[in-house]
Amino acid sequence: MEVRMENIGNLHTVSHSHQTDNLMNSPHTRQSVSHRNLHGRSATMVSSMASILDGAGEYRSEHSLSAPLPPAMTMSCDSGMSISSTYTTLSPLQHLPSISTVPEKFSHHHYPHPHHAHHHPAHQRLTAGNVSGSFTLMRDDRGLASMGNLYAHYPKDISCMAQPLSPLSSGLGTLHDAQQPLGAYGPGAHLSNDKMISPGGFETHAAMLGRGDFGGHGTGLMSTLNGLHHPGHSQLHSSGSMLSERDRHEAGGTQACGSSQAEEINTKEVAQRITAELKRYSIPQAIFAQRILSRSQGTLSDLLRNPKPWSKLKSGRETFRRMWKWLQEPEFQRMSALRLAGV
DNA sequence: GCTAATATCGAG
DNA sequence: CTCGATATTAGC
C-alpha cells in the first residue's frame, strides 16, 4: 500500500507548503509533504497511473475512508452506485460544525466533490489519517482558500454549482471543465515549473485543481479563473480534447443540483467527457470498461460513440451512472478505482 | 511488421 | 444491453 500512496502523494504534491502538513498525522503523510515540492512531475503521474491500472497495489481509499466518516463522506468515498440517493440527502446535513471551528489547517476544503466539500474539516483530517492522507490533502491546497468563502455562503447551493454536467447541457457543454480550469491559479504561484513541463503529460495537477475544488462548475468562479490563466498551460489540454472553448459557458444553466444519479444524465455529455478523460490519462477503453464499468471494450466504445438519450435507456442507465460518477470523483479516487477494479 | 487500441457488428 | 470476434487504425 504504502508505495502506491507515496507515489500518489508525490504527484499531487503541491508546491506550496502549508496546511497539508498539519493535517497529516499518518506516517506516510510526511513523506508526501517532503516531496511536495516536486510539482512538475507529470511523468510521475503518468507512471503512477499506469501502475494503478495494472492493479499492482491494492489499497482502496474509498473504503477506508468510509468507515470512519459520517454518512455523507461515506457516500462520496464509496463510490458505490447506491450512493446517489444518499448524495442529495446528505448535502444538507453536512454543514456541521465546521470551518469556523476549525483552524485553517484543517479547513482546507480541498474536497473534490462539490457536495460535501465544504464542511467537516474535522473529518477530513481524520480521513487523511486513516486513509492515506497523502493524496487527499494535496488537492486542496490549491485554491481552495478562496473557495472556503464561497462555500460558507452557500452551504448547499454549492452542490449545484459544482455539478459540471448538466443534464441539459446538451452534448458538449461541459466536457472540458476539468481541463482548463485551473490554469487560473497561476502557474507561477504554486506549480511553478511543472505545468509547463508537462506538455505531453497531462495536466494532472491542473485537472485536479480544477475539478477538485470547484473546477468547472460555478460559472462565476470559472470565468474569474479563466481570466487569470496564463499562456503556458494551453498546451496541457492540447493532448486531450479541445472541446473546451465553447464549453465553458455551459455553466450558465446548470440545473441539476443534486444530480448524482437520481437525475437524468446527459449521456452525450458524459460520453464526451469520459472519452476526453480517457485520452488525457491514456486509459485504454478496455481497462476503463472492465474496471469501472464492468463491461467490455466494445460495449464502452459503442456507448461512447453512440450514446442513447437518457430517456431511451433502460438498464443501460446504470452504465452511464458509473461513468458519471467516475467523472465526479477526484483524481486519486479515480485512480484507485481503476486499480482496484482489476484486483 | 508487430502490437495495442479502438471501431464495428452479429449473436445471445 | 452486452459480449465477443473481427476489422481497422495508430504507434513503434
**CA dist., res. A54 & res. A179, Å (int):** 25
pTM exceeding 0.75: no
- Strand C proximity list, CB < 7 Å: A 289, 294-299, 302-303, 308, 312-316, 318-319
- The answer to whether the C-beta of A44 is closer than 7 A to strand B is no
pLDDT digits (tens, 9 = 90+) for A193-205: 333 434 433 344 4
Task: Give me the CA A85–C1' C1 separation in Å, rounded.
Answer: 24
Nearest to A169 by CA among A264, A237, A242: A264
Q: How far is the CA of A200 from the C1' of B5 (A)?
A: 19
pLDDT at A129 over 70: no
Residue with cell 491542473: A206
- pLDDT tens digits for A169-189? 443 444 444 443 333 333 333
What would the pLDDT profile of A43-54 be if each residue is shown by its tens digit? 444 445 545 555
Q: How far is Cα A148 from Cα A190, in angstroms, rounded to an integer?
A: 18
Residue A91 has pLDDT above 60, yes or no: no
**Nearest residue to C3, CA vs C1'?**
A296
SS3 content of chain A, % helix, strand, coil (to 5): 65, 0, 35
Distance in angstroms (rounded) separating the CA atoms of residues A292 and A208: 19
User: Residue with CA nearest B6 C1'?
Assistant: A301
Question: What Å value separates CA A63 and C1' C5?
Answer: 37
Q: Which nucleotide is nearest to A319 (CA to C1')?
A: C1
Mean pLDDT computed over every residue of chain A: 51
Question: With the CA atoms of A313, A319, A320 and A324 taken in that order, what torsion angle do they form, in degrees rounded to the nearest 10?
Answer: 160
pLDDT score for A331: 82
In whole angstroms, give the CA distance from residue A202 to residue A41: 10
Q: Is the CB of A153 under 7 A from strand B?
A: no
Nucleotide nearest to A299 (CA to C1'): C2
Identify residue A15 by its one-letter amino acid code. S
Q: What would the pLDDT profile of A54-71 be if each residue is shown by its tens digit?
A: 544 444 444 444 444 444
Smallest CA-to-CA distance from A226 within A258, A202, A250 is with A250
For residue A202, the tally of other CB atoms under 10 A from its CB is: 24
- Chain A 188-207 contacts with nucleic strand B (CB below 7 A): none
Q: What distance lies between CA A301 and its chain's CA centroid?
A: 23
CA pair distance A172, A182, nearest whole angstrom: 20
DSSP state of A18: S
A25: which residues sit within 8 A by CB, 6+ positions away?
A125, A128, A129, A133
Model confidence over A220-255: pLDDT tens digits?
A: 344 333 334 444 344 444 444 444 444 444 443 444
Residues 281-300 of A with CB under 7 A from strand B: 284-286, 297-299
* Residue A298 predicted with pLDDT over 90: yes
